Structure 1
Amino acid sequence: MTATPASPDPTMEAISQAVTEGRVGNVASARHKLLSLWSAIGVDGDPLHRCTLAHYLADLYEDPAQALAWDIRALDAAAAVTEQRVQEHHASLHIAGFYPSLHLNLADNYRRLGTFEAATEHIDAAEEHIPNLPRGSYGDTIRTAIAQVAEAITLRDTAHRASAPGPTA
């Protein structure tokens, strides 16, 4: 969800740095940094900051219930993000493009928890938002993951997906 900003945004830069740290294996440190940023942003802070941070923080939890709590926060914050705010961050982004990934993550967490009705609702929402995905590798990755999670829901499979972001269980 992050890209090169149109203008410097120290909070988005700090989120990006923590995400990078988590992706190279420093999960505990990355989680600590993101939680500290969350405290600084506050529950009424910039919705783009809250959405982005919560979306990536969820990926740092192996437990699907913990990840779910952060993914719900990300989706809630996305509802308050304006197109203008996203464009201020980066001209190539659109808030509608966030929804496939946000719903995908919720569907995957609910699936892993065995809550297949809720998982189905969110995978259906992710599929409805597929036209909002950009062309290219990011969009292709999300489309593939949506198909994988949809199939896992159909099979009532609660196993962690090898292609899912974040630490493995």
Structure 2
Amino acid sequence: MTFDATLTRINEGVQLHHQQGERAAARDLFAQVWDEIGGERGDALHVCVLAHAMADVQDDVRQELLWDERALAAADRLTDARVAESGVPLSVAGLYPSLHLNLAECHRRLGDLDRAREHLRQAEAGIDALGDDGYGKLIRDGLDRLTQQLAAG
């Protein structure tokens, strides 16, 4: 494992958002890092993690969806070796349930329930890649909530 300054900066933005409630500051930091890594052409791990985090600080669901789609496209370019090298404690397969959950939620909020259900199915199909830990529980709970919301219409 090597020290990854870019992932450290992305984590700083995540902390700004989740622990300090500074969505705008996090969004600004993420935008700086996005430019530094070369946008979508950057390292797939950096693009995936950054886009996943950037989606969470968007005020418009369409922008959130765009960032979530970027994260998914970057995950498709990732390898387990690259993820392991960075010290991220997941396989590439372990990223997909969360990515598809976020896409499903965006589509639900936009009223596209068919696409929401499709992403929900894809998230559920990959759930076995998650461990029996806090992260796995978080994603499983999110899938359960979304399933109930979609069932309610």
CA RMSD of aligned residues (A): 1.0
1:120 and 2:117 correspond: yes
* Structure with the larger helix share: 2
- Measured in 1, the distance between the counterparts of 2:13 and 2:71 equals 17
> AA paired with 1:29?
A
> TM-score, normalization: structure 1?
0.86
1:34 and 2:48 correspond: no
Q: Which residue of 2 aligns with 1:17?
A: 12
User: Which range moved further: 70-79 or 36-45?
Assistant: 36-45
> AA paired with 2:93?
A
- Measured in 2, the distance between the counterparts of 1:48 and 1:91 equals 10
Q: Which residue of 1 aligns with 2:81?
A: 84
Of the three residues 130, 136, 141, the one matched with 1:139 is 136
For CA contacts below 8 A with separation 6 or more, give which structure has more relative contact order. 1
How many pairs are equivalent? 151
User: Which range moved further: 50-59 or 82-91?
Assistant: 82-91
Cα deviation, 1:65-124, whole Å, max 9, x if unaligned, reads 111010000000000011110010116321110000000000000001100010010000
Evaluate the alpha carbon distance shift between residue 91 and residue 106 of structure 1 in structure 2; reply closer, same or farther with a 3 A threshold: closer
Identity %: 41
1:149 and 2:146 correspond: yes
- Measured in 1, the distance between the counterparts of 2:95 and 2:88 equals 14
- Measured in 1, the distance between the counterparts of 2:89 and 2:21 equals 29
